[in-house]
Amino acid sequence: MSAVAAALALIALADPFCSDVQRLTQAAREPFAFQSLREEDFKPMLLAHGCFPGGEGFFCQQSRLPAEITQKSVSTRIAACLRGAKIAVEKQPGSRPQTVVSADATRFEIEESGADGGRDGRILRIQVVADR
């Protein structure tokens, strides 16, 4: 590992956002994905109001986003926390494109909707699931 890569890894470890991303990724590999985090009532802070267990993983949502929080900025930030992360844009028929960050058997599915002038402004949703 180069000195630059090692320094970036240390910065990621010191960042609470990256710490939450890495805990989610570790828990996705459990026999019952995310079970340990559910049991400790873990609320990762990937967005301002935190994330909550939902469905097969964790769900996060924030409306009235500040300009700097976008689908692209959040997916880039998540990917920076995970070694070997891949970012892809997926489009399902009849739905908005979502950005997927995948690494270590975990998928972070990120979708943005709404508009700055709308009642709720722009809305960002993150679904974290095990990718087995």
- Residue 110: the pLDDT is 97
Q: Which long-range contacts (CB under 8 A, 24 or more apart) does 111-119 make?
A: 111/71, 112/65, 112/70, 112/71, 114/63
Amino acid (1-letter code) at residue 129: V
Residue 13 has pLDDT above 70, yes or no: no
* pTM listed for this prediction: 0.85
Mean pLDDT computed over every residue of the chain: 89
The residue-averaged pLDDT of 9-22 equals 79
Question: Which one-letter amino acid corresponds to residue 119?
Answer: R
Residue 12 has pLDDT above 80, yes or no: no
> Does position 6 have pLDDT exceeding 70, yes or no?
no
pLDDT of residue 92: 79
CA distance 132 to 129: 9
Look up residue 5 and give its two tokens: 């890569």
Q: What percent of the chain has pLDDT over 70?
A: 90
Span 91-104, pLDDT tens digits: 878 878 899 999 98
